[in-house]
């Protein structure tokens, strides 16, 4: 969890590379669906694209349908990382019901924290690979060859919701709908707070150490 642009996707990608866990990013799923031709998109998906462009949250029912279609991710042998989901109390409650049915439990909910000014800086400079979705930053994490992905050579692009008008709406949506989840997961004893200032590798090491010690404590209990 964490505000837009705090670095959730970057950390999920690093965790995924190290742990071999399934990485389910609802934002990536929506963007992939949006890159298909309009006639291949369901009316619910076309509507979802409008919400995304404006920086608003997609309705819970559409998000939940996308997640349920990918529920096999939860049974991945290397575990699973949910990135950008849940984002409302309704989504968190639906997720809990599904996990209970599957007899699965979350190890932790990591909440990344950063001042708003740095978040805006990260979002404005972000560039994403159109093929493999790897994430770069024009100054903080530049690609070796400008405009091309280090990993697969794909073209880098700027997300349309990274323009100033959408950033403002996304930050407001986060404060209104997603920040209350912090208390929800705190009460469930799952919350891990990580200060997201520092390099991606530094933040990754802090995250991994925390997750490992929680996992060891859960296995010992
Ligand atoms: P989504 O794609 O989930 O976007 P987001 O939450 O707004 O988060 P971002 O992907 O923008 O940022 P991030 O925290 O992953 O940061 P990143 O690692 O890229 O969702 C997009 C939209 O889809 C939503 O607005 C909504 O409409 C819809 N949606 C998705 N899920 C939904 C749900 N569950 N319910 C309802 N609607 C939903 O990093 C950002 C930049 O910073 C990059 O350039 C990166 O290189 C750089 N960076 C990262 N870490 C560091 C560091 N440590 N130091 C310096 N730079 C760094």
Annotated catalytic residue within 53, 96, 151, 159: 159
Q: Which atom of ligand 1 is nearest to the CA of 2?
A: 14
Annotated catalytic residue within 31, 122, 126, 133: 126
Residue nearest ligand 1's atom 54 by CA: 199
Query: What pTM did the predictor assign?
Result: 0.91
Annotated catalytic residue within 31, 122, 133, 170: 170
pLDDT digits (tens, 9 = 90+) for 176-185: 999 899 999 9
Q: From the CA of 131, how far away is ligand 1's center (Å)?
A: 17
pLDDT digits (tens, 9 = 90+) for 134-155: 999 999 899 999 999 999 999 9
Q: Would the CB of 64 count as within 6 Å of ligand 1?
A: no
For the question of residue 126 being annotated catalytic, the response is: yes
Residue with tokens 């929680």: 214
How large is the average pLDDT for residues 156-168?
A: 90
User: pLDDT at position 92, please?
Assistant: 97
User: pLDDT at position 174, please?
Assistant: 92
Q: Which atom of ligand 1 is nearest to the CA of 30?
A: 23
For the question of residue 75 being annotated catalytic, the response is: no
**Residue 89: is its pLDDT beyond 80?**
yes
How large is the average pLDDT for residues 153-178?
A: 92
Residue nearest ligand 1's atom 1 by CA: 27
Q: From the CA of 4, how far away is ligand 1's center (Å)?
A: 5
pLDDT digits (tens, 9 = 90+) for 25-71: 999 998 888 777 777 778 888 888 899 988 999 999 999 999 998 98
Q: From the CA of 29, how far away is ligand 1's center (Å)?
A: 13
């Amino acid at each position: 969890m964490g505000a837009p642009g705090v670095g959730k996707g970057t950390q999920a990608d690093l965790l995924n590379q190290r742990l071999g866990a399934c990485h389910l990013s609802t934002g990536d799923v929506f963007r992939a669906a949006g890159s298909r031709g309009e006639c291949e998109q369901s009316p619910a998906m076309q509507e979802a694209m409008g919400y995304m462009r404006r920086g608003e949250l997609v309705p819970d029912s559409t998000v939940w349908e996308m997640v349920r279609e990918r529920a096999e991710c939860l049974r991945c042998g290397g575990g699973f990382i949910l990135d950008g989901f849940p984002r409302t109390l309704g989504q968190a409650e639906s997720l809990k019901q599904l996990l209970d049915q599957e007899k699965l439990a979350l190890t932790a909910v990591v909440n990344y924290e950063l001042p708003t000014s740095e978040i805006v800086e990260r979002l404005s400079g972000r560039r994403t690979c159109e093929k493999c979705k790897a994430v770069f930053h024009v100054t903080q994490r530049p690609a070796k060859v400008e405009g091309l992905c280090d990993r697969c050579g794909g073209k880098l692009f700027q997300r349309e919701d990274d323009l100033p008008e959408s950033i403002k709406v996304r930050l407001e949506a986060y404060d209104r709908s997603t920040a209350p989840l912090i208390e929800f997961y705190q009460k469930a004893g799952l919350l891990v707070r990580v200060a997201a200032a520092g390099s991606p590798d530094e933040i990754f090491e802090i995250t991994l150490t925390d997750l490992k010690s929680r996992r060891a404590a859960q296995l010992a209990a």
